[in-house]
């Protein structure tokens, strides 16, 4: 199994999570990820309160168009700051916030349905 080297093009379900990282596309990655229809990339936030406008803007710019953006905030459900939620809303993108475990399961289910979904997943 290889490790993520910053960015992997393509749409992938998350095969596993925990121990500080994720497995997908026959790879493993330690740390948080941004999974979009265009690819999966490593991102800097390690906690819900480190998600900033630049992270949201990256998701919107690199997404190829999203209907829904899921945020996995770590072990617990934590809020997304109102200005960040407004950025998504202004871009016409729905937003669901949950703990990382349920976020991974929801993301995978929506991928199976062929939905235009993206996810920012904080490693647990």
Residue 40 pLDDT: 95
Tokens for 83? Answer: 């200005």
Which CATH superfamily is 2-121 part of? Answer: MTH938-like (3.40.1230.10)
- Which residues of the chain are under the pLDDT cut of 50? 1
* Tens digit of each residue's pLDDT (9 = 90 or more) over 63-93: 778 999 999 999 999 999 999 999 999 999 9
Report domain extents, the chain.
2-121
Region for 99 from its dihedrals, namely left if φ exceeds 0, alpha if ψ lies in -120 to 50, beta otherwise: beta
Predicted local distance difference test score (pLDDT) of residue 107? 98
Residue 91: the pLDDT is 94
pLDDT at 5: 59
């Amino acid at each position: 199994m290889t490790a993520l080297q910053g960015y992997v093009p393509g749409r992938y379900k998350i095969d596993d999570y925990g121990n500080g990282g994720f497995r997908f596309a026959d790879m493993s990655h330690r740390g948080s990820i941004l999974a979009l229809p265009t690819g999966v990339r490593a991102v800097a936030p390690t906690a819900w309160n480190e998600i900033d406008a630049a992270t949201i803007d990256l998701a919107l710019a690199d997404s190829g168009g999203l209907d829904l953006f899921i945020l996995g905030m770590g072990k617990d459900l934590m809020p997304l700051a109102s200005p960040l939620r407004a950025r998504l809303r202004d871009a016409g993108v729905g937003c669901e916030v949950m703990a990382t475990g349920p976020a991974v399961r929801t993301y995978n289910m929506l991928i199976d349905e062929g939905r235009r979904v993206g996810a920012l997943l904080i490693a647990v």
